[in-house]
Structure 1
Amino acid sequence: MAGTTRRRSLGRISGENAVIEVAWMYYHDGRNQQDIAEALGISRATVVNYLQEARETGLIRITLAAPAFTAHRLSLELCTKFGLAEAYVVPDDGLAPDPAFARVVRGAALWLPDLLAPGDRLGVAWGRTVYALAERVENRAIEDLTVLQLVGSMATPYGFTAEACSTRLAQRLGARCLNLHAPAVLSRAALAEELRAEPILRAQLQALQGVNKLLFSVGTVSENSHVVSSGLATPEELAAHVARGAAGVICGRFVDAMGRQMPGETEARMIGIDLPRLVGLEMGILVTPGLDKVTPSLAAIRGGYVTHLATSTRVAEALLAAA
């Protein structure tokens, strides 16, 4: 009948096909949710649910082009001030710490695949930020990519162990994963030396020497630092390093305000890559999601670990003001 809107039902279309149908109409045809609901004979709530499922299962990708975040004023100022290749800065004005953290991590997760190339050997640190990023990276296989765990395992009360970070990221990127099958820190230096000499671990440590890109978030030296909760250092050891000028933690190792590795008894008991190997790499990708990491991030930048920075507007302004 003339003047009437043609309506069709999803009928036998169900499951993934129904989700694809709704997603196509919304994102490619530009139709609104109510129009789709009426056209397919379903409720608007069902349309919303299908669109959410399409995002969660990876059937669609919603992204903003990287230049939107790497070419504005703060990004360029960070690059000029600190000699960075690129800085990816997301807006966080008015956001509480947790939403701001999530936004920076999401931005870094969107950016990361564009920074990687076939044949790369990506060294991965550990911690809440890196693990959250690995969880949010969309599945995108990169040919001949290897992900390397840079510091040994630890008994952390959190879900973001070192091996969890590297394994999850490798899964997302279709990469080969090389984990360290040893604790991050041993009780005695002699025991650590013996373990490093074991053929399997010696080969794993040797493989770390081929790293050409680094993904990390520098740790703090506050009382609630993860180096204490994970058992890498006692509260007394943390206090002693702070008294001697510790400004941050990179791959479980303390660094001073200039990013130089600080000597200490713990060093001889650790299993992982030596920090000097991470200075001056082809690419060092630092993710700084909060104001609490301004001082340690400056140390990492000064130390030569960073070429690319993912952060927020407030943190970027704080970095520029503190430099």
Structure 2
Amino acid sequence: MDRPRKPQSTAETSTVGQLAEIARRYYIEGETQDAIARALDLSRMKVNRMLREAQDAGLVEIRVRFHSSQTRELEAEFCERFGLKHLLVAPEARSIEQQRTNVATLVSHFLESNLRENSVVTVGMGRNVARVAAVQTSRAFDQITFVSGSGGASEAGAEGNADHICRALARRFGGTATTLYAPAHVPDGALREALMRHETVRRTLNLARSADYALIGIGDLGPDSHMARMGWFGPDELKRAQAAGVVGDLMGYDFFDIEGRPCNEEIGGRVIGLSRDDLSRISNTIAIASEPSKTTAILGALRTGAIDILATSLLNCIAIRDWIGKR
């Protein structure tokens, strides 16, 4: 016979009314955990624990309602064709901003389910990666390390830099953030190599290389691309790169063609950060791309073999499948 379970101390229990109030504020009213903690004179960690308690008690039921037979078929097809572990497919949205949020929400939920204490997460720059840090979470950890996988750039603004994203993720999930103290972009390869040998840079990148997970964006060469907005490359350089077959990049600098082959001759080798080979050795590299303009970039990125998990929209998945079917 099972032994009766000892009752929890009053310091560890919460009333149904308290749990319901916190769950209502968080899931229905959309308040942040920090705001709830201030309003109810609780610590943020206490609010986080009570949200989990509300789920365990059956007061909160979370359902992923948009996973249809179509997305299951796409996941099976993409995993077999490209060697993915998972395909995270978000529903279509009316605006690109909402699309980024839909995709980021899937990534955030994936991390909540799969991260473990003492995990290390390498983080890249860009809007899609940053949006993951803006999504509300219902689980926190104590010993997660988020480490910048690329240097910083004033042109990106605070929210677009990997170090800012790391700090935001650490606040959301718990743990600590480690900054890569180096510029993201340098004018020539010789300076890049010198900085890559610097002890501080080398030590941080070695930590990033040892990560259990990597969060990265997939870039393209369009007018609204990360590189175009940063101004790192001039229009003529980008045109030459496109003429040479470049369709996209990983981490903002490791370029590839539609077949996933390296294509760095025109504009590669100028960014401080992890390389494609480094990402290939991280066992769970999550690539995030929301925009419909990135179909060919996503396909090329999938063919690099560096990606383990792709998070994107349903429309992008269908477009990639159709592209392959026509060739």
TM-score by length of structure 1 reads: 0.76
1:52 alignment partner, one of 7, 24, 29? 29
Q: Report what 1:64 is aligned to.
A: 62
Instruction: Tell me the CA shift for residue 91 of structure 1.
Output: 2.5
What is the rounded CA distance, in whole Å, between the counterparts of 1:204 and 1:295 in structure 2?
A: 32
What is the rounded CA distance, in whole Å, between the counterparts of 2:126 and 2:294 in structure 1?
A: 13
What is the rounded CA distance, in whole Å, between the counterparts of 2:79 and 2:153 in structure 1?
A: 35
What is the rounded CA distance, in whole Å, between the counterparts of 1:26 and 1:171 in structure 2?
A: 19
SS of residue paired to 1:218: strand
User: Can you list the C-alpha shifts for 1:190-228, whole angstroms capped at 9, x where unaligned?
Assistant: 433333333222322333331332212201111221112
**1:318/1:204 CA distance change after superposition, 3 Å:** same
After superposition, residues 165-176 of structure 1 pair within 5 angstroms as 165-176=165-176
Q: Report what 1:105 is aligned to.
A: 104
**1:240/1:48 CA distance change after superposition, 3 Å:** same
Instruction: Tell me the CA shift for residue 177 of structure 1.
Output: 2.0
What is the rounded CA distance, in whole Å, between the counterparts of 2:147 and 2:21 in structure 1?
A: 41
| Runs of 4+ displaced beyond 6 Å | 47-50
Q: Report what 2:313 is aligned to.
A: 312
Residue 176 of structure 2 aligns with an amino acid whose one-letter code is R
Unaligned runs of 5+ in 1: 1-16, 28-46
Count of matched residue positions in the alignment of Structure 1 and Structure 2: 286
Instruction: Tell me the CA shift for residue 180 of structure 1.
Output: 0.8
Instruction: Tell me the CA shift for residue 109 of structure 1.
Output: 1.7
Answer whether contact 1:280 1:304 (CA < 8 A) is retained.
Answer: no
What is the rounded CA distance, in whole Å, between the counterparts of 1:195 and 1:147 in structure 2?
A: 22
- Aligned-residue identity in percent: 25
SS of residue paired to 2:207: helix
Q: Report what 1:259 is aligned to.
A: 260
Q: Report what 2:235 is aligned to.
A: 235
User: Can you list the C-alpha shifts for 1:256-280, whole angstroms capped at 9, x where unaligned?
Assistant: 2233332236544321112211125
What is the rounded CA distance, in whole Å, between the counterparts of 1:203 and 1:174 in structure 2?
A: 23
TM-score by length of structure 2 reads: 0.75
Q: Report what 2:39 is aligned to.
A: none
Q: Report what 2:11 is aligned to.
A: none
Q: Report what 2:283 is aligned to.
A: 282
Compare CA radii of gyration and give the structure with the larger one: 1
After superposition, residues 1-323 of structure 1 pair within 5 angstroms as 21=17, 24=20, 51-52=28-29, 57=36, 60=51, 64-65=62-63, 69=67, 72-92=72-92, 95-138=94-137, 140-142=139-141, 144-158=143-157, 159-253=159-253, 254-264=255-265, 266-323=267-324
SS of residue paired to 1:156: helix
**1:79/1:178 CA distance change after superposition, 3 Å:** same
